[in-house]
C-alpha cells in the first residue's frame, strides 16, 4: 500500500470519502427543491473531480470562470457551458471556436456598450452568441440592479440583434460570504432568488423571452429558500469546503476534503515555532478568515491523518516557508512533539486559491493513496 508518507511535500491532498459526501449533500439540497445544479468547475479544475460530481446526480452542464476551463472540459465531454464572467470582444474569436466545435457556450453581459461591442464581434464571426444578463442582487460585484431602468433596453437590444440570443438572467450572491448566521444565509438566499426572478419577470413583462434564471453560491445553495421561478443553481467550493465556509457555519472543519501535506523542516526553539516546507506558493496568500470571529491566519494545522491540532495554525508565510505555531503567542509549541521530518496537513482558507497553487491532487481513501488527478490552470 502506498501512503502519504511516500509523497514528496508540499502536496495537495484530496480525501475521496469527504468529496463524495459533499457532492451528495449539495445534490440533495438543490434537488429536493426541484432545481438542477450547474456545478462550477473553477474550484477543482479537474476532469476527474467533475466526473464524480456528475455521477452524484442532479447536474446540468457546468459553469466556468475561464475560457481555458471551457476548452478543457469541452474536450472531455462537457458541452453545455456557462462562462460566468463578463466577456469582452477580444475573447469572442476564441469563444467562437468552441461554438463551431459544437459547444453550447453561454456568455454573460451587464452593460449596453459591452453588448454592442460583442454583437459587432459576433457579426464578424458570423455566429449567434447566446447571452445571459448578469443581475446584481446584493451590491457584491458586477451586474445590473433588478429594478434598474437600463435592464429592459439592454434585454431589448440583445433580443433584437440577429447576432445575439437572450437566454436569461444570472446572478451570484457573493455578499452571502459575509453572512454570520444561518438566518442571515437564509435571508441572502431568498433575496438572491426573488430578485433574480423579479428581473426575469420584468423582461418578460416587456414582451421579451427570458427562459433561464440562474443563481448560486455555496452558502445560499445550502440555505433554505423558495426557488420558484429559478431554473438552475450554481455553486463550486462545496465539493471541497474550506475554512471560510467553516467559519460561516456552512460546513464543519471535518467536512473539508482538501489539505496541503507539508513536512517540518526546522524549529525556532526560542519562540516555540515550527518551520514547514509549505509557504504561500503551496497555501496561497488568501486570508479569507481574517474578518471572521476566528482568524485561521494561513491555515489550520492537522496531524498527518488529517485531525486538527488544537489551536495550531500557520501564522506566517514566506514563498516556500510556513511558520507554524500556537494561536496564542504566549503558548509556544512543544517542539519535541514535531521532530524534523514530521508530516502535517494544513486545511486551506480558500479552497479555490490553494488548489490553484498545485498541478494535481493526491487522492486518498483513509490512509491509502489511491490516485493522482491532474488539474489545469491558466485563462
Tens place of pLDDT per residue across the chain (379 aa): 788 999 999 999 999 999 999 999 999 999 999 999 999 999 999 999 999 999 999 999 999 999 999 999 999 999 999 999 999 999 999 999 999 999 999 999 999 999 999 999 999 999 999 999 999 999 888 999 999 999 999 999 999 999 999 999 999 998 899 898 999 999 999 999 999 999 999 999 999 999 999 999 999 999 988 999 999 999 999 999 999 999 999 999 999 999 999 999 999 999 999 999 999 999 999 999 999 999 999 999 999 999 999 999 999 999 999 999 999 888 899 999 999 999 999 999 999 999 999 999 999 998 899 999 999 999 9
> Which DSSP letter does residue 298 get?
T
pLDDT of amino acid 127:
94
Residue owning grid cell 460570504: 177
Q: With contact defined as beta carbons under 8 Å apart, do 135 and 152 qualify? A: no
DSSP 127-154: -PEEEEEEE-SSSSSSSB-TT-TTHHHH
**Beta strands 258-268; 11-15: pairing state:** antiparallel
CA distance 30 to 234: 10
Torsion of CA 152, 100, 97, 212, to 10 degrees: 30
Q: What is the pTM of this model?
A: 0.96
pLDDT of amino acid 362:
98
CA distance 369 to 363: 6
Q: For the chain, how big is the Rg over CA atoms in Å?
A: 22
Catalogue all structural domains in the chain, each as residue range(s) with its CATH number. Answer: 17-239 (3.20.20.10), 253-374 (2.40.37.20)
CA distance 345 to 362: 12
Nearest residue to 132 via CA among 117, 151, 150 = 151
Amino acid at each position: 500500500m502506498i501512503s502519504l508518507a511516500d509523497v514528496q511535500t508540499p502536496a495537495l491532498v484530496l480525501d475521496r470519502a469527504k468529496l463524495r459526501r459533499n457532492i451528495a449533500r449539495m445534490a440533495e439540497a438543490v434537488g429536493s427543491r426541484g432545481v438542477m445544479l450547474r456545478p462550477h468547475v473553477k474550484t477543482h479544475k479537474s476532469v476527474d473531480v467533475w466526473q464524480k460530481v456528475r455521477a452524484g446526480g442532479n447536474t446540468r452542464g457546468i459553469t466556468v470562470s475561464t475560457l481555458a476551463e471551457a476548452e478543457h472540459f469541452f474536450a472531455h465531454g462537457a458541452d453545455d457551458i456557462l462562462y460566468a464572467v463578463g466577456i469582452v470582444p477580444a475573447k469572442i474569436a476564441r469563444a467562437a471556436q468552441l461554438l463551431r466545435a459544437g459547444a453550447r457556450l453561454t456568455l454573460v453581459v451587464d452593460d449596453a456598450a459591452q453588448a454592442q461591442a460583442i454583437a459587432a464581434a459576433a457579426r464578424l464571426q458570423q455566429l449567434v452568441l447566446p447571452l445571459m444578463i448578469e443581475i446584481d442582487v446584493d451590491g457584491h460585484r458586477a451586474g445590473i440592479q433588478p429594478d434598474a431602468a437600463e435592464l429592459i433596453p439592454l434585454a431589448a437590444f440583445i433580443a433584437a440583434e440577429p447576432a445575439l440570443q437572450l437566454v436569461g438572467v444570472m446572478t451570484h450572491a457573493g455578499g452571502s460570504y459575509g453572512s454570520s448566521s444561518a438566518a442571515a444565509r437564509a435571508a441572502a438566499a431568498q433575496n438572491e432568488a426573488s430578485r433574480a426572478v423579479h428581473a426575469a419577470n420584468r423582461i418578460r413583462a416587456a414582451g421579451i423571452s427570458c427562459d433561464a434564471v440562474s443563481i448560486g453560491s455555496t452558502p445560499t445553495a445550502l440555505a433554505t429558500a423558495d426557488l420558484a421561478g429559478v431554473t438552475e443553481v450554481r455553486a463550486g467550493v462545496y465539493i471541497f469546503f474550506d475554512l471560510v465556509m467553516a467559519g460561516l457555519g456552512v460546513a464543519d472543519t471535518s467536512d473539508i476534503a482538501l489539505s496541503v501535506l507539508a513536512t517540518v523542516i526546522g524549529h525556532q526553539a526560542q519562540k516555540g515555532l515550527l518551520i514547514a516546507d509549505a509557504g504561500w506558493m503551496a497555501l496561497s496568500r488568501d486570508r479569507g478568515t481574517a474578518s471572521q470571529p476566528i482568524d485561521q491566519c494561513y491555515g489550520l494545522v492537522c496531524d498527518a491523518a488529517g485531525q486538527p491540532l488544537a489551536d495550531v495554525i500557520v501564522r506566517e508565510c514566506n514563498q516556500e516557508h510556513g511558520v507554524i505555531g500556537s494561536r496564542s503567542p504566549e503558548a509556544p509549541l512543544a517542539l519535541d512533539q514535531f521532530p524534523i521530518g514530521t508530516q502535517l496537513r494544513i486545511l486551506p482558507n480558500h479552497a479555490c486559491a490553494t488548489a490553484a497553487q498545485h498541478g494535481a491532487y493526491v487522492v486518498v481513501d483513509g490512509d491509502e493513496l489511491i490516485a493522482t488527478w491532474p488539474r489545469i490552470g491558466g485563462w
